[in-house]
């Protein structure tokens, strides 16, 4: 995947604080990265668009000049679909599933504290974030929950 540097940063910082960490991609990749699973979502969803290539400076992700290559919303929806399929086969299910961008600064301990202090029930569905209408009028035309930027 194009985001190896960011994946290294995640492993070097907060990965050990996660009960389970799985990297999801839509590109050709090995099945493991530094001891963590790496899953190409296209194997489960063959019609999914691949991740866009790095830009001219080697930065991964969405290229501003090519809106046709964006797969962010599709990848997010497919990631949750994939996680749901995975969990159906698990005896012990995680209490929390996080979908994070590779450039997100994340402190698992803070999330666990919030969930505990606000008495979230892991047996009930809930989502943290706000409704994001940014892509409502773009393909696939979905409103989704976002944690916000910066």
Per-residue model confidence (pLDDT) at position 135? 66
Joined together, the tokens standing for residue 65 give 């000049």
pLDDT band, very low/low/confident/very high, at 145 (cuts 50, 70, 90): confident
Region 120-147: mean pLDDT is 75
The secondary element (H helix, E strand) that includes residue 32 is strand 32-33
Q: How far is residue 52's CA from residue 147's CA, in Å, rounded to a whole number?
A: 22
The secondary element (H helix, E strand) that includes residue 78 is helix 72-88
| pLDDT, tens digit, 9 for 90 and up, residues 29-84 | 899 999 999 999 999 999 998 987 766 555 544 444 555 556 777 888 899 899 98
Which among 146, 125, 24 has a CA at the least distance from the CA of 79? 24
Which among 21, 111, 25 has a CA at the least distance from the CA of 76? 25
Q: How far is residue 130's CA from residue 119's CA, in Å, rounded to a whole number?
A: 19
Q: How far is residue 4's CA from residue 93's CA, in Å, rounded to a whole number?
A: 28
DSSP code of 135?
T
Q: How far is residue 90's CA from residue 1's CA, in Å, rounded to a whole number?
A: 27
pLDDT band, very low/low/confident/very high, at 150 (cuts 50, 70, 90): very low
pTM of the model: 0.76
Which among 128, 85, 126 has a CA at the least distance from the CA of 110? 128
Q: Are 82 and 75 in contact (CB under 8 A)?
A: no
């Amino acid at each position: 995947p194009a985001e190896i540097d960011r994946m290294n940063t995640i492993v070097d910082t907060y990965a050990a604080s996660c009960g389970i960490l799985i990297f999801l991609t839509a590109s050709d990749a090995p099945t493991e990265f530094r001891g963590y699973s790496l899953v190409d979502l296209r194997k489960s969803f063959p019609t999914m668009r691949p991740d866009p290539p790095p830009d001219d400076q080697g930065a991964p992700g969405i290229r501003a000049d090519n809106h046709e290559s964006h797969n962010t919303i599709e990848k997010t929806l497919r990631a949750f679909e994939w996680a749901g399929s995975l969990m159906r086969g698990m005896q012990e299910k995680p209490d929390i599933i996080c979908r994070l961008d590779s450039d997100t600064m994340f402190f698992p301990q803070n999330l666990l504290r919030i969930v505990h202090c606000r008495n979230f029930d892991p047996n009930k569905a809930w989502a943290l974030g706000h409704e994001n209408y940014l892509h409502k009028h773009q393909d696939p035309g979905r409103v989704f929950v976002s944690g916000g930027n910066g």
